[in-house]
Amino acid sequence: MNQFNPSFGELPYCILGREQVIENIKLAFENNLNDPYRTVLFSGARGIGKTVLLEKIVEISLEYGFVSVNITAGNTMIKDLFDQLFERTQHLLYEQKKIKSVSIKNFNVEFFGDDQTLGLRTRLERVLVKLNELGVGLLITIDEIYKAAHGLGEIVIAYQHYKREGRNVALMLAGLPKNVSDILSDSEETKNYTFLRRAERVVLKDIDIEEVAQLYYETFNAEKKSLTKENADFMAEITKGYPFMVQLVGYYVWRKTGDKVEKAEMLAGIEEAKERLGVLVFSASLNDISGKDTEFLLAMANFETPVATADIMKAMGVSQGYIQQYRIRLLETELIYSPTYGKLDFSIPYFKEFLLQKQ
Ligand SMILES: Nc1ncnc2c1ncn2[C@@H]1O[C@H](COP(=O)(O)OP(=O)(O)OP(=O)(O)O)[C@@H](O)[C@H]1O
Ligand SMILES: [Mg+2]
């Protein structure tokens, strides 16, 4: 069976390059309520593996006796949180024979004394107290966070309060870099998030190429698809360590090849991987932005990157005000970033090549 899975948010067979952070989180679950890795803020580009890592952490938390809820920031966060919480605690009903168990449906009311008219903080605290009494911790993960997410501030404030009271809780948040830095900025709108400035921050990066090469070499050969070291290295270089591309290249080379990975078939697989990256990530991104934004990106692609904003301005023959406006907008899309002052670069490998092909 194909050991690679190029789907967003789905656990791959093997998670590379995250050992250190996973180790730190395990220690935090195991040891001590005040361990900094109980509260972590992950950030990183699209497709770098934020969702997958949160899922992995949820899986791990089970081994350490946590109940977990994993929600995505949005308008129904609070409802989602309680829905999941009550669903995932139902097994406690069977373990705690004391409960009269009118019906599973009213489990939360009877067991936790839930009352929907109460505020989030009190409502969640009732659950938490009960869980902690049973020696169970609570992990909340929130994906795709952004400043204006309705209910996010309330959850953070409640969490801060539980921490202060020494409850067994953990909170892991993930988002695109821009959204995370917005949350951490100092303003009236972000005052509920102040506590997060003290949270552990983890910026997810591309994976080491050698690790990718080793994964290819071992995974293919283990499934009797003979792959040379040289070809494994070649495939790994192509991915540039970008996690989504690691899955794409692995998946399509696997599909195109038989018992032995021949060079020509491998190259065909790589081509298909690049094409899929274009469709799934780049075309989709271009659909979300205006024609003018695309023109800016095309102008950028014609330079060696990182490129100075001033050069793009000259190439496009437009005013400084105009360029600044588009620069800011595009930085917000996270398709480009500014590695140093006055310079711009593309965030995801092969985007530049994709744009040049479109011209
Ligand atoms: N550490 C990793 N090792 C190998 N593959 C990974 C790793 N992390 C993620 N992937 C793969 O990369 C792809 C994207 O992962 P994921 O959906 O978690 O990205 P994301 O950062 O949440 O992206 P987005 O910002 O678009 O939500 C998936 O196919 C996943 O299997
Ligand atoms: Mg994601």
pLDDT of residue 256: 95
Residue nearest to atom 14 of ligand 1 (CA): 47
Residue nearest to atom 25 of ligand 1 (CA): 46
Is residue 143 scored above 70 in pLDDT? yes
The CB of 276 under 6 Å from ligand 1? The reply is: no
pLDDT of residue 359: 79
The CB of 244 under 6 Å from ligand 1? The reply is: yes
**pLDDT tens column, 24-40:** 999 999 978 999 999 99
Which residue bears the tokens 């095309």?
298
Of 262, 260, 172, 247, the closest CA to residue 10 belongs to: 247
CATH class of 291-358: mainly alpha
| 3-state secondary structure (DSSP) of residue 99 | coil
d(CA 83, CA 291): 42
Name the residue of 55, 212, 247 whose CB sits within 8 Å of the most ligand 1 atoms, as the mutation to test its pocket. 247
- How far, CA to CA in Å, does 101 sit from each of 67, 104, 163? 21, 7, 31
The CB of 298 under 6 Å from ligand 1? The reply is: no
Whole-number Å distance, alpha carbon 283 to ligand 2 midpoint, is: 18
Report the chain's mean pLDDT, rounded to a whole number.
Answer: 93
Average pLDDT over residues 143-147: 97
Whole-number Å distance, alpha carbon 49 to ligand 2 midpoint, is: 7
Please answer whether residues 295 and 316 qualify as being in contact, where contact means their C-beta atoms are separated by less than 8 angstroms: yes
Q: What is the chain's Cα-based Rg?
A: 24
d(CA 12, CA 201): 24
Report the share of the chain in percent with pLDDT over 70.
Answer: 96
The CB of 17 under 6 Å from ligand 1? The reply is: yes
pLDDT of residue 11: 87
Name the residue of 13, 48, 52 whose CB sits within 8 Å of the most ligand 1 atoms, as the mutation to test its pocket. 52
**pLDDT tens column, 89-127:** 887 766 666 555 555 667 788 888 899 999 999 999 999
Is residue 157 scored above 90 in pLDDT? yes
**pLDDT tens column, 47-106:** 999 999 999 999 999 999 999 999 999 999 999 999 999 999 887 766 666 555 555 667
pLDDT of residue 101: 52
d(CA 359, CA 342): 25
Looking from the CA of residue 52, the nearest atom of ligand 1 is 18
pLDDT of residue 154: 96
d(CA 151, CA 50): 21
**pLDDT tens column, 180-190:** 999 999 999 99
pLDDT of residue 332: 87
pLDDT of residue 288: 86
Whole-number Å distance, alpha carbon 102 to ligand 2 midpoint, is: 39
Please answer whether residues 25 and 57 qualify as being in contact, where contact means their C-beta atoms are separated by less than 8 angstroms: yes
- How far, CA to CA in Å, does 345 sit from each of 90, 351, 358? 49, 10, 18
Whole-number Å distance, alpha carbon 20 to ligand 2 midpoint, is: 20
Is residue 166 scored above 90 in pLDDT? yes
- Judge: domain 19-203, CATH 3.30.930.10: no
The CB of 175 under 6 Å from ligand 1? The reply is: no
Nearest ligand to the C-alpha of residue 243? Answer: 1
